[in-house]
Amino acid sequence: MRAMEITLNSPLDMHLHLRDGDMLKLTAPLSADFAGAVIMPNLVPPVTTPEMMQGYAERIEAALDGAAFTPYMTLFFTALGEKELLAARETPGFFGFKLYPAGITTNSEGGVSDMAQADTTLHLMEELGIPLLVHGESHGFVMDREQEFLAVYRHLATRYPKLKLSMEHITTAAALKLLDEFPNICATVTLQHLIITLDDVAGGALRPHLFCKPIAKRPEDRDALLQAALSGHPRLFFGSDSAPHPRCRKEACGCAAGVFTGPVALPKLAEIFATHGALENLQAFVSDNACKWYGLAPVQKQITLRNTPMSVPAAYRSYGQEVVPMYAGESIGWSVVR
């Protein structure tokens, strides 16, 4: 096989769960090939104040043990006034707000139950240039939740035309269409939603480590997402949504939602883009598009990937934690050159 290589400049993960405590110590170094990531705030309790956010950012930095990696911090969206929004914006490391419909996923009980209650805050965020990242699912039938939520995205994009609005972890061809309809919306897409469909999760034996929210959808959705990513769509960014849960919470009755992809994301993306002859668009997908949209200037970091295989461990274990990654015990065609 012909040797192939790509060097990425400052790759970014625009949607990442690192958790806290011992789990954070395990997971943070496993995402440290990225130059930075947008860090999700759904801890227990959620990260709702600048003080909590700063404390969390410090714990992330400690867990990274000197790695050049910028945590772009988010606050869990609650209805706030101008003074509080200004305080958030002035806090070092602050990136934006993550809005969860109440109860829609892990630790989101304190989310928004009525969008009208968010109106004043959203108008202010628009004026202040503060991005809004949204977990876009309704409480309907699980396969239709994203589709049903598109009406809310339409409403937000129309009512707050200058708001920097991101549809997080999109899983449908319909969401991509919305991206083309509204130039003021961007979106992230995960690794797993470029690869799997519901069949991979539940079509044969149940695969708990591929179970996440939003649930993987139909082949035509997966194919449309993959084509958009491969083409370097300027408003589609890589966001892994790597969401580690202890093995005992995944291999359980009442399996927690989340796919742990942090350690395999860059090699697998390189493999996918190479397989489809689209390696030249990987830089845009994992960094440049998001940098342009948000005006980011991440730390300079070059990561070289090569088509020599990576053996993915059956599990990552440290600090008393055990987490199973996507492709556990398997081999990926590409790896990071150390």
Measured from the CB atom, the residue of 208 and 298 that comes closer to ligand DOR is: 208
Residues 6 or more apart in contact with residue 78 via CB below 8 angstroms: 48, 110
For residues 199 to 238, the per-residue mask of contacts with ligand DOR, x marking binding by CB under 6 A and - elsewhere, is: -------------xx-------------------------
Cβ of residue 17: shortest distance to Zn ion, in angstroms?
6
Binding partner of 73, given Zn ion, ligand DOR, none, CB within 5-8 angstroms per partner class: none
Measured from the CB atom, the residue of 243 and 284 that comes closer to Zn ion is: 243
Query: 214-252 burial, b for 16+ CB within 10 Å, e for fewer?
Result: bbbbeeebbebbbebbbebbebbbbbbbbbbbbbeebee
- What are all long-range contacts of 58-66, with beta carbons under 8 Å and residues at least 24 apart? 59/20, 59/24, 60/18, 60/24, 60/28, 63/18, 63/24, 63/25, 63/27, 63/28, 63/29, 64/28, 64/29, 64/32, 65/29
User: Which residue of 146, 241, 271, 288 would you call a contact of Zn ion, by CB under 5 A?
Assistant: 241
Cβ of residue 86: shortest distance to Zn ion, in angstroms?
27
Measured from the CB atom, the residue of 40 and 279 that comes closer to ligand DOR is: 40
Cβ of residue 24: shortest distance to Zn ion, in angstroms?
15
Residues in 117-136 at the binding interface with ligand DOR, rule: CB under 6 A: 135
DSSP string computed for 212-238: -SSPP--HHHHHHHHHHHHTT-TTEEE
Query: 141-161 burial, b for 16+ CB within 10 Å, e for fewer?
Result: eebebbbebbebbeebbeebe
Query: Does the bond joining 45 to the residue before it have cis omega, within 30 degrees of 0?
Result: yes
Binding partner of 164, given ligand DOR, Zn ion, none, CB within 5-8 angstroms per partner class: none
DSSP string computed for 10-76: S-EEEEE---SHHHHHHHGGGGTTSSEEEEP---SS---SHHHHHHHHHHHHHHHTT---EEEEEEE
Measured from the CB atom, the residue of 40 and 270 that comes closer to ligand DOR is: 40
Rounded (5°) CA angle 148-154-155: 100
Residues in 97-126 at the binding interface with Zn ion, rule: CB under 5 A: none
From the list 13, 221, 241, 288, the catalytic residue is 241
User: Does residue 241 have an active-site annotation?
Assistant: yes
Measured from the CB atom, the residue of 106 and 289 that comes closer to ligand DOR is: 106
Measured from the CB atom, the residue of 243 and 272 that comes closer to Zn ion is: 243
Residue 106 interacting with ligand DOR (CB under 6 A): yes
Phi, psi of 99, rounded to the nearest 5 degrees: -100, 125
Binding partner of 268, given Zn ion, ligand DOR, none, CB within 5-8 angstroms per partner class: none
For residues 234 to 253, the per-residue mask of contacts with ligand DOR, x marking binding by CB under 6 A and - elsewhere, is: ---------x----------
Residues in 253-282 at the binding interface with ligand DOR, rule: CB under 6 A: 257-258
User: Which residue of 31, 48, 70, 105 would you call a contact of ligand DOR, by CB under 6 A?
Assistant: 105
Binding site for Zn ion (CB under 5 A): 241
Binding site for ligand DOR (CB under 6 A): 17, 42, 105-106, 135, 212-213, 243, 257-258
User: Which residues are catalytic, by number?
Assistant: 241
